[in-house]
């Protein structure tokens, strides 16, 4: 019996420290859709003109994954749902060759594992309520499969929208190409960069929990519709095209 107060004290301490170290802990919040974000590698390298323009690793020719995010409306939440389920690199060892091509980091130090850890801990741990996403391995494997299934590069290519240094495109044409193919409204993002008015940056597709494509809540492009958009060709890290 003399241990009871001690146990209670430890429990309180545990709860308190948990709150302290997880300010964003929000597991009570359910979500109603996923935002699946893919980005165009070359634009990430040129973002804000501060990064090295040749940051795309060899072998990458298509759009890559930023993340699969549980979302309520437009808000990417809940996040950081389970800090007792830390990222374990060993669990996804077999997926690494695919992850390196389909889910690379474009930061200057190319910290792939750090990027995957962040996505798992922030978003993956909130997705485990669904049986098809109830492990770290499944979260990465399923997201990789979405990148194959929802191949933005090929959808745009079919409409003659291909990376170019000379040609620019209209935001509406990009939206319409995606809408024609997927039959749902995606959200298109552009980035203003020094060397051009705006560059094609992200495409978000929204999925319900089945998971099937649905219209994104706000499908208005985060681009300037009155200006052309550039879709820059990939400049490879090793300089060979």
Ligand X SMILES: *[C@@H]1O[C@H](CO)[C@@H](O)[C@H](O)[C@H]1NC(C)=O
Closest CB to ligand X among 98 and 222?
Answer: 222
Q: On the CB side of 12, how many CA atoms lie within 13 Å of its CA?
A: 6
Minimum separation from the CB atom of position 194 to ligand X (A): 14
- Residue 14 near ligand X by CB under 6 A: no
Closest CB to ligand X among 54 and 176?
Answer: 54
How far is Cα 68 from Cα 204, in angstroms, rounded to an integer?
10
Give CA 213 to chain center in angstroms: 16
Closest CB to ligand X among 84 and 226?
Answer: 84
Using CB under 6 A, which residues numbered 59 to 88 contact ligand X? 82, 84-85
Rg (CA), the chain: 20
- Residue 220 near ligand X by CB under 6 A: yes
In this structure, the number of other CB atoms found within 10 A of the CB of residue 148 comes to 10
In this structure, the number of other CB atoms found within 10 A of the CB of residue 149 comes to 10
Residue whose pair of structure tokens reads 């699946």 in the numeric block: 36
Tokens of 11: 């429990």
Minimum separation from the CB atom of position 135 to ligand X (A): 9
Tokens of 60: 């990458």
109 carries an active-site annotation = no
**Residue 130, C-beta contacts closer than 8 angstroms, at least 6 positions apart:** 209
How far from 178 is each of 137, 187, 210, 228, CA to CA, in Å? 29, 10, 21, 17
Among candidate residues 121, 123, 136, 185, the one labeled active-site is 123
Q: Using CB under 6 A, which of the segments 62-70, 89-97, 177-185, 218-226 binds ligand X?
A: 218-226
Site string for ligand X, 172-211 (x = CB under 6 A): ----------------------------------------
Using CB under 6 A, which residues numbered 36 to 55 contact ligand X? 52, 54
- Residue 128 near ligand X by CB under 6 A: yes
Among candidate residues 76, 119, 136, 204, the one labeled active-site is 119
137 carries an active-site annotation = no
Q: Using CB under 6 A, which of the segments 87-95, 148-156, 216-224, 227-235 binds ligand X?
A: 216-224
Q: On the CB side of 35, how many CA atoms lie within 13 Å of its CA?
A: 24
Closest CB to ligand X among 80 and 85?
Answer: 85
Phi, psi of 44 (to 5 degrees): -65, -35
Minimum separation from the CB atom of position 51 to ligand X (A): 9
Angle 136-149/112-122 helices, nearest 10 degrees? Answer: 100
Q: Which residues are catalytic?
A: 66, 119, 123
**What is the contact surface with ligand X in residues (CB under 6 A)?**
52, 54, 82, 84-85, 128, 218, 220, 222, 237
């Amino acid at each position: 019996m003399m241990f009871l107060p001690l146990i209670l004290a430890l429990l309180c301490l545990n709860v308190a420290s948990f709150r302290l170290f997880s300010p964003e802990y929000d597991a009570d919040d359910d979500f109603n859709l996923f935002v699946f974000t893919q980005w165009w590698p070359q634009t990430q390298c040129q973002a804000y003109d501060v990064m090295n323009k040749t940051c795309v690793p060899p072998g990458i020719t298509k759009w890559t994954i930023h993340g699969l995010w549980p979302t309520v409306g437009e808000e990417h939440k809940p996040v950081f749902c389970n800090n007792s389920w830390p990222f374990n690199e060993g669990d996804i060892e077999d997926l690494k060759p695919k992850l390196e091509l389909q889910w690379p980091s474009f930061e200057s130090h190319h910290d792939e594992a750090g990027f995957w850890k962040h996505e798992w801990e922030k978003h993956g741990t909130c997705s485990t309520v669904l049986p098809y996403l109830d492990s770290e391995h499944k979260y990465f494997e399923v997201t990789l499969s979405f990148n194959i299934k929802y191949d933005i590069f090929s959808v745009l290519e079919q409409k003659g929208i291909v990376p170019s240094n000379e040609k620019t495109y209209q935001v509406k044409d990009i939206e319409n190409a995606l809408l024609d193919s997927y039959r749902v409204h995606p959200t298109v993002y552009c980035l203003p960069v020094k060397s051009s008015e705006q560059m094609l940056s992200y495409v978000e597709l929204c999925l319900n929990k089945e998971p099937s494509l649905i219209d994104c809540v706000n499908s208005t492009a985060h681009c300037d519709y009155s200006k052309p958009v550039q879709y820059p060709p990939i400049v490879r890290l090793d300089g060979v095209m």
